[in-house]
Chains A and B, each alone.
Chain A
Amino acid sequence: MNSLLKIDNLHVSVNGKPILKGVNLEVRQGETHALMGPNGSGKSTLAYALMGHPRYEITDGRIEIDGVDLVALEPDARARLGLFLAFQYPVTIPGVKVADFLRHAVSNVRNPDRKEGEGLIPMREFRKELKARMEALGMDVEFARRYLNDGFSGGEKKRMEILQLAMLRPKFAILDETDSGLDSDAVRVVSEGLARLAGPEMAVVIITHHERLLEFNRPQSTHVMLAGRIVENGDATLAHELHDQGYAGVRTRHPAIAAEETVEKTEEALVAKA
């Protein structure tokens, strides 16, 4: 049965300031969605709130996977339910080897009932799988022994995110600007890698400004965010159009919401000046 990620009237505040103002979205396992919108429209906020970052406070609404409410769950419980976020800015963890970290993560996610201190997945099996996945992504197997994201280039970090995605095989993967800051070769590698991983078992929500990632991973649905709401839904053509023409047309079609955006920008500028 296809799993369903359902976001219903989601309101999220950061430091008391409302950012998301009623987001509705349904994603089914196996689908590919593009989430677009100008800077500050709330795309990354949505991604963080879905994954359960402690500073993103959900003030109203629900996030469900197959009817299970995620709002009260810790990020690790959400991961065990099949949610994954590829970070725009992956964090460095000095001294923690990629292989050690991933073996732990894979053990928990594949065996959601695993208790702390219980056995990890067998080393041989894990190593074999990790090696195959790294080779498929064109990564040097030596990376498994390096410290997590420590001294990695931008491209290496993004590839490491896709490697984690490949190993954890989530039902719902959210990619937060995975293509930003990459040269075109790196974008191609990441896009192709993602395309190979996507399939009936995995839904992908791609947050992006660019088209490249979407060329290899053609979305069934495109959603446009503006000032904390999803204001338009369409198909791949919409993504293409936004890429060519920018968001002026969207703002024109939604003048009231676009006005909110302007007010917020002005407020931010005032705060920054003060």
Chain B
Amino acid sequence: MATDLTPPAEAEVGVGDYQFGFHDPTDKYVFKSRKGLDRDIVSQISEMKSEPDWMRQFRLEALDIFFKKPTPTWGGDLSHLNYQDIFYYVKAAAGQEKNWDDVPADIRKTYDRLGIPEAEKKYLAGVKAQYESEVVYGSLQEDLSRQGVIFTDTDSAMRDHPELFREYFGTVIPPADNKFAALNSAVWSGGSFIYVPKGVKIDFPLQAYFRINSENMGQFERTLIIVDEGASVHYVEGCTAPTYSSESLHSAVVEIIVKRNARCRYTTIQNWSNNVYNLVTKRAMAYGDSLMEWVDGNLGSRLTMKYPAIYLMEPGARGETLSIAFAGKGQHQDAGAKMVHCAPNTYSRIISKSISKAGGRASYRGLAKVVPGAHHCKSNVVCDALILDSNSRSDTYPYIEIDEDDVTIEHEASVSKIGEEQLFYLMSRGLSEAEASAMIVTGFIEPLVKELPMEYAVEMNRLIELQMEGSVG
């Protein structure tokens, strides 16, 4: 390892600095498309990536769908989003790097600030660090590949595993699903591809780090995870972004297939800078007796619209979503979950927690749907909102569509303000108002945090403390 990898001063900067943003010089790009979106740009992206013709066609068809579909008017305010004022493809460094020392120095420096080498030493079996639109660094523990596990970036998967890739790509979320799925399908780049063969259980989390690092640069990663029968995997994705003055668009698509008796957990903590539109489509198909879990934390962004979905396709399938949203000043978190019961004896649970402060707005938007014939289903939805001051707002939009009689659906919602009595109690024991508020908020999200891998739990609590600084008084 290079000696300059973790200078002490850098290491001490820690998580606290993301909030204020930092970025590397932006003249290190190998390729950058011009701003805007049209057929030429989409063809150029495909050409740059030396893609097969079917993918170029797929992208162009998706582009047509994107242009035809109107921008949604529900959820958050998208009226300031200018699709022609965005770079849709930026390539930072040529090729795939096998090991950390080969990663260009300024990119390494950026990741040092995010603590990635540390994380790798401690936890990582494979790191997929997405810098700009392309994965530039990846390593995969050898025993994983011996077991036939594929963990790579999505572009490489298309090239190296063409049949497997084409069998599943776009099957869970077709381009026509919604406007942003169409956009992603047209311009996608990077993302993770995971295939876990039958019966293989990976007992440590696979992780990826994401980062937007160019003004007006959109990031459109595309993730595809296939967990074959009886297999299991926990995928963890975290991302942060430096702060820029103008708007930035992030629109990812995540497709997951969980086959019979398999398990998949997908954990995300997102802390986009406050100018980012984060419009994500995530969906999983869960087959017989499988378990799919989304753990989803949204702290940053200007607007997040994200409703991870689970389609329970066969009897015995279970789906769980645990989501947390923190909306601070100028932020709108419109987040939630969808559970679609397509088969009898399927089970779902949604736990949603939101915090709003300093004028922020947190909305829960969720769907519990039971199709005809899907009898003996159970669905349980709990949403709790914590509002920290009178300028902030919380809304709940629970949609329930039931076309079957013999089902159990429960929905509970609660909204609370940080209690005067709770604050007084803690302060009477010597805690300052800021310490007491942070403790109450940390306690509120504890059910989510304890589900996170250790480093994320620590990071999450530090982010909350940062968000709480200066929030009182």
**Residues in chain A within 8 A of chain B (CB atoms):** 51-55, 74-76, 78-80, 84-85, 87, 90-91, 93-96, 100-102, 104-106, 108-109, 116, 147, 164, 168
- Report chain A residues within 8 Å CB of B169: none
Provide the residues of chain A in CB contact with B428, threshold 8 Å: 51-52, 75-76, 78-79, 84-85
Give the contact-size bracket for chain B.
Answer: 20 to 34
Is A76 a contact partner of B434 (Cβ separation < 8 A)? no
Given A101-B429, A108-B431, A168-B430, does the pair A96, B442 have CB atoms closer than 8 Å?
A: yes
Contact A93 B424 (CB under 8 A): no
Apart from the given pairs A91-B421, A101-B429, A106-B430, 19 other A-B contacts in the complex at a CB distance below 8 Å? A74-B433, A76-B430, A79-B428, A79-B429, A80-B430, A85-B428, A87-B425, A93-B426, A94-B444, A95-B445, A95-B447, A96-B446, A100-B439, A105-B430, A108-B431, A147-B446, A164-B429, A168-B429, A168-B430
Candidate in B430, B439, B440, B445 with the most chain A CB atoms within 10 angstroms:
B430
* Given the contacts A93-B443, A95-B442, A95-B445, A74 and B427 also touching, CB distance less than 8 Å: yes
| B contact residues vs A (CB 8 Å cutoff) | 419-422, 424-436, 439-440, 442-447
Q: Is A54 in contact with B424, judged by CB distance below 8 angstroms?
A: yes
Whether A76 pairs with B420 at a CB distance below 8 angstroms is no
Which residue of A is nearest B429, CB measured? A105
Q: Is the CB of B446 within 8 A of A91?
A: no
Give the interface SS of chain B, mostly helix, strand, loop or mixed. Answer: helix
Question: In the complex, how many angstroms separate the beta carbon of A169 from the nearest chain B beta carbon?
Answer: 12
**11 A-B pairs (CB sep. < 8 Å):** A51-B424, A76-B427, A79-B427, A79-B430, A93-B426, A93-B439, A95-B446, A96-B443, A104-B439, A116-B435, A168-B429
Find chain B residues with CB under 8 A from A54 CB.
420, 424
Query: What 9 pairs between A and B have smallest CB-CB spacing?
Result: A95-B443, A95-B446, A108-B430, A96-B443, A79-B430, A105-B429, A75-B427, A91-B425, A109-B430
Is A76's CB under 8 angstroms from B433's CB? yes
The listed residue (A87, A116, A168) touching B432 by CB distance below 8 A is A116
With both chains docked as a complex, state the minimum distance between the C-beta of B443 and any C-beta of chain A, in angstroms.
Answer: 3
How far apart are B417's CB and chain A's nearest CB, in angstroms?
Answer: 14
Quick check: A147 and B443 within 8 Å, CB to CB? yes
Q: How far is the CB of A108 from chain B (nearest CB, A)?
A: 4
Knowing A51-B428, A93-B422 touch, does A104 contact B435 (C-beta < 8 A)?
A: yes
Question: Which residue of A75, A85, A94, A105 is within 8 Å of B443 (Cβ)?
Answer: A94
**CA–CA, A76 to B442, complex, Å?**
19
The distance from the CB of A96 to the nearest CB of chain B, in whole angstroms, is: 4
Q: Known: A104-B431, A105-B430. Contact between A90 and B446, CB under 8 A?
A: no
* Known A-B contacts A94-B443, A96-B443, A116-B435; A55 and B429 likewise in contact (beta carbons under 8 Å): no
